Amino acid sequence: MPKFCANLTWLFTEMPFLERFAAAKDAGFDAVEVLFPYDVNAQDIVHALSRCGLKMALINCPPPNYTGGDPGNAAVPGAQERFRHDFMRALRYAKTLGAQHLHVMAGAAEGDVARSVFVDNLRWAAAEAPKQSLTIEPIDAVSMPGYFLDDFGLARDVITAVGAPNLHLQFDAFHAARITGDVIGTWAAMRDLVVHVQVAQTPHRDEPDRDEPDRGQIDYPAFFAALDAQGYAGWVSGEYKPRADTVAGLGWLRTARALTDDAA
């Protein structure tokens, strides 16, 4: 059965940040991810994780929450020095929190020079932190206009060019649906590179369910069944905006567990 994780940047926002950990545990999650935890004292997060018996699955790099700023900088020509400074700070946070994965964001850029910068920065980062799992994630052009890594083929090319054993793919099914229109097919093509999965329904990036025929476009029961059948051992994170109360919208989680339990 896939292991499910709660994105605390998007979920349980009805309550203060440090209270979301216990809420996630009570809802049945065994791990959490936090996109930009840098405004919170790292030891406070460590204590929240420990109290609740939760693991930290993933955080993003670069550190400062980029609201109003740039969505990453790893592929931005001329920003190499800034990237390396940001990466080292993010790495310290990842180590303190015990984050399994550190997602390196490419930023807004385009062209061959940006690709070369991205590859060089990732090579440096992978060598600098050989024991830290690093991920890159294709993000669709509607959600983040101008983002360099907006294609799965490009992601494979970059990972191959970097050639580091600790660099992997982060597979967001919502972005896959928008980029290719075929989540299951894209998963099959990229599965060998994936260590972390995120889910949300299209078109509104809400709960990954299909309670009503016209509500969602991604067949999540089929997707979860594929993950289970193929023995995917990583986390599947709910990274979505709840339609209303977070707990009230967790029917998708109960359904997914029931389906995979029945299959077993």
pTM, entire model: 0.94
* DSSP alpha helix (H) spans, 163-201: 173-180, 183-190
Is residue 263 assigned to a domain? no
Separation between Cα atoms, residue 102 and residue 47, nearest integer Å: 20
Is residue 63 assigned to a domain? yes
Domain count, the chain: 1
207 is catalytic: no
- Kindly report the CATH number assigned to the domain that includes residue 50: 3.20.20.150
Is residue 260 assigned to a domain? no
At 71, is the pLDDT very low, low, confident or very high (cuts 50, 70, 90)? confident
Separation between Cα atoms, residue 59 and residue 39, nearest integer Å: 13
Render pLDDT for 223-244 as a digit per residue (tens, 0 to 9): 999 999 999 999 999 999 999 9
- The answer to whether residue 66 scores a pLDDT higher than 60 is no
Its domain, for residue 132, covers 3-245
Catalytic residue among 19, 81, 110, 239: 239
Is residue 95 assigned to a domain? yes
Token couple for 191? 């599965």
DSSP-assigned letter for residue 30 = S
Predicted confidence at residue 264, as pLDDT, reads 52
What is the average pLDDT across 21-31? Answer: 97
Is residue 254 assigned to a domain? no
Is residue 135 assigned to a domain? yes
Predicted confidence at residue 216, as pLDDT, reads 57
Separation between Cα atoms, residue 162 and residue 253, nearest integer Å: 36
137 is catalytic: yes
Is residue 261 assigned to a domain? no
Catalytic residue among 14, 19, 128, 137: 137
Is 241:10 a contact under the CB 8 Å cutoff?
yes
What is the average pLDDT across 113-120? Answer: 98
Separation between Cα atoms, residue 19 and residue 1, nearest integer Å: 27
Among residues 107, 100, 110, 141, the alpha carbon closest in space to that of 122 is found at 107
Separation between Cα atoms, residue 122 and residue 61, nearest integer Å: 12
At 258, is the pLDDT very low, low, confident or very high (cuts 50, 70, 90)? confident
Is residue 252 assigned to a domain? no
